Structure 1
Amino acid sequence: MKNVFVTTLSASLALSSLVIASSVYAADKTPAMGFFVSSTGGGKGADLGGLAGADKLCQSLATAAGAGKRTWHAYLSTQATGGDKAVNARDRIGKGPWYNAKGVLIAQNVDDLHRGGNLTKETALTEKGEVLNGRGDKPNMHDILTGSDTQGMAFVGSDDTTCGNWTKSGSDGSAQVGHHDRQGLNDMPPAKSWVNSHPSRGCSDPALASSGGAGRLYCFAVK
């Protein structure tokens, strides 16, 4: 009887060890975060200090969330001006795949992302793993700065769609925004675009807030 008890106990301990090991292995296999919506804005409306300042914000937030070993860029386009060529947001974010803070797949690659990917209010989490307010919440924060068309390209022409390439914080200028919750009245096709929904009413914090924004950015791990 004693031998049977010892054998049973040993088997139970072995099974417990296997379960624990399996749980640790599963945790280790959770994909690294490669995408988030910034939990804060740049602090000065749409004046982010240009692309460099926007990237710095993404990198600092990722670092605070324990993902600072990766290189992070803001999903923003800039327009051609003063002899400088336009920059397309889609060209700044690497090749994918990208996962959110909970390990949920957002998109396999750039083309998948711009077909809509798996971006919804429930998956477009902040770096802290939190859901950002959307349409119907108070305050609404679903306007995300992009300066981009539906395919992630910079706009052509003289109209300001990037708040002076992310250097303006006043009433003049405008920035194209997307809706992270895919909700809106006048979204461009494809319907309910996370990239290209409408222009902002200005570049200041009050102007961004007036249509449901808070100067938030999409941040992607380049590598």
Structure 2
Amino acid sequence: MTSLAAMRELSGSQDGFGGDLRFGETGAGAGLRGADKICATIAEKSMPGAGSKTWRAFLSAAAGEDGKQVDAIDRIGEGPWYDRLGRLVASNKDELIGERPSGADDAIADDLPNEDGVPNQQPDPSQPKVDNHDTLTGSNQQGRLSGPTATCNDWTSASGDRSSGKPRLGHSWPRNFGGGGGDFNMAHWMSAHDAAGCSPSVNLVDAGGPQQGATGVGSGGGYGGIYCFALTP
């Protein structure tokens, strides 16, 4: 997944991108294309040459370039997928679709790593762990579009008034190692709960969830990070 440092650098803001991931792209499907470009740019910075691969952000959208629904699980190829250090994340989609990736290396299954292969809950090993579990997906627990208001207008809006809905989030590491019921699962990597809103925000301190009046993608513990998958190992 994308680190806070990388998202700050590319967005030019200490608060990150929020729900607007266009990254210079325009027209239909700009949010998804921009997110893919973010993934490729970060991959290249971490490992020169890696940016030449085809990268896809694990994001769903109500309408892609052709106006049709886009499901994250259909964007990322068939696997296998590995992290920056060559550790297995999943061999195929069946292993991905679950509370945690069932085929993942034990070292990363419960703390999905960033572009440098570092478990994201503790991006600086010399510092304490941080509360940064919330990750943008717009997806349900099958990797498909969670709902029409779950994508910040298909990743083109960073509105602070909730007019663009509340994006669906996954948890890069299990919050309190708890499950849940229905649409609420604090351990699910691709679909845990909704964010407070689409505005840019960073919160790395456990405050028990978004505070009253919060409208940011990171208000509940995060910074608007995204998962990135290469179509080829």
TM range, normalised to the smaller chain?
A: 0.7 to 0.9
Per-residue deviation at 1:81? 8.7
Residue 179 of structure 1 aligns with an amino acid whose one-letter code is: H
More helix by share: 1
Match of 2:84 in 1: 101
Match of 1:179 in 2: 171
Taking structure 1 as reference, are residues 145 and 187 closer, same or farther at Cα in structure 2, changes over 3 Å only? farther
SS at match of 1:63: helix
Q: What per-residue deviation string (whole Å, max 9, x for no partner) do you get for residues 40-87 of structure 1? A: 335321110100110000000111122223111100000149982110
Residue 141 of structure 2 aligns with an amino acid whose one-letter code is: T
Match of 2:218 in 1: 209
Per-residue deviation at 1:192? 1.4
User: Please, which runs of 5 or more residues in structure 1 have no aligned partner?
Assistant: 1-36
SS at match of 1:210: coil
SS at match of 1:214: strand
Per-residue deviation at 1:121? 3.9
Give distance in 2, aligned partners of 1:188 and 1:167: 30
TM-score, normalised via structure 1 length: 0.74
CA contact (8 A) 2:20 2:157 kept: yes
1:74 to 2:57 alignment: yes
Match of 1:141 in 2: 132
Per-residue deviation at 1:218? 0.3
Match of 1:32 in 2: none
TM-score, normalised via structure 2 length: 0.71
CA contact (8 A) 1:89 1:148 kept: yes
Q: Output the aligned Cα RMSD.
A: 2.4
Structure exhibiting the larger radius of gyration computed from Cα positions: 1
Give distance in 2, aligned partners of 1:104 and 1:82: 33
Match of 2:39 in 1: 58
CA contact (8 A) 2:19 2:155 kept: yes
SS at match of 1:151: coil
Match of 2:150 in 1: 161
Give distance in 1, aligned partners of 2:167 and 2:219: 13
Give distance in 2, aligned partners of 1:76 and 1:52: 11
Match of 1:38 in 2: 2
Match of 1:4 in 2: none
Q: What per-residue deviation string (whole Å, max 9, x for no partner) do you get for residues 114-154 of structure 1? A: 133226344x11111222127xx664111010000001001
1:110 to 75, 79, 93: 93
Match of 1:85 in 2: 68
User: Please, which runs of 5 or more residues in structure 2 have no aligned partner?
Assistant: 23-30, 123-127, 202-215
SS at match of 2:42: helix
Match of 1:130 in 2: 118
Give distance in 2, aligned partners of 1:191 and 1:139: 16
Give distance in 2, aligned partners of 1:56 and 1:82: 15
Per-residue deviation at 1:205? 1.8
